[in-house]
Amino acid sequence: MNPASINGFGYAGLFQMGEAALQDAGYYKGDATRTNDWTGGWTGKSGINSLADFLHNPDAQVQAVVAYQNKIAAQIHSLGLDSSIGKTINGVPITMSGLVAGAHLVGIGNLSNFINSNGANVPLDGNNVPISDYIAKFGGCTIDASTPTFSALSTAIGTAGIVPTPPVPSTSTLSSSPTPFAGDADTIFMAASGKSKAEVKEVISMILATLVTTWVAWTCLSSFASWRRGRLSFMNLQGNIVRAACILIAIIVIVN
């Protein structure tokens, strides 16, 4: 219950939210890095314009985590993961609050991997805690999209909510046909591939750059060898090298 807490991975506040979570919640604009270094700008939502503002405003932190978890719940629904509610996977009863906790703490893609593999794939967080532990520990809680005050939240600690062994909900309360939801394309892509679009693009760019650079080097060396043997004019040698360089530059521009 320390709103000013920052852990070794840069996650901040009462709920240890990172840059990506606060972007989803509408508070942080993002930056060029993939770490929680907080070098980007803030949107000004709830009067938060810096990391210091966020750490000193516990009510805003509660508002941010509710906004984020509402988005997580929508993503869970859009990916069909809520169809697992009422099942027991790897000995863990699946509830909505457990799914939200698993996605919050280990990622929506990793939650999808755990559910869709029927527990064969058990992802870990940065502290090597398995996602199944979070799904169990935070399972069975009442889901409410409204936002309490930090004061109300503080007085509720230890009185309700978290249960070590969550009960399996009655199947009579489950929706057999969830209402379709317009899914987030980036989230669906990550859930299906386990990688973000940016990571996939970077790998493809590196492979393409390696292939093109190898081809340019081979073209230059083979043309130079032909020129040395008198099989190619110096003008043609220059032309081959210039063409190869132009193609390399064009591909770099297209990839970027």
At residue 187, the pLDDT reads 54
Same domain, yes or no, for 78 and 166?
Answer: yes
Provide the whole-model pTM: 0.58
- Domain endpoint, select from 156, 176, 194: 194
For residue 163, what are the domain limits? 19-194
At residue 198, the pLDDT reads 66
Q: Answer yes or no: is 250 within a domain.
A: yes
How many CA atoms lie within 13 Å of 161's alpha carbon, on the beta-carbon side? 12
d(CA 256, CA 77): 34
Q: Answer yes or no: is 160 within a domain.
A: yes
Same domain, yes or no, for 237 and 139?
Answer: no
At residue 220, the pLDDT reads 84
CB 81, CB 112: distance < 8 Å: yes
Q: Answer yes or no: is 69 within a domain.
A: yes
The average pLDDT across 99-110 equals 93
d(CA 256, CA 250): 10
Total number of domains constituting the chain: 2
Of 244, 154, 255, the residue nearest 200 (C-alpha): 255
Q: Answer yes or no: is 130 within a domain.
A: yes
Same domain, yes or no, for 64 and 152?
Answer: yes
Same domain, yes or no, for 50 and 161?
Answer: yes
Same domain, yes or no, for 230 and 174?
Answer: no
- Virtual torsion, Cα 149, 146, 74, 51, nearest 10 deg: -20
Classify 89 as helix, strand or coil: strand
CA R_g for the chain: 26
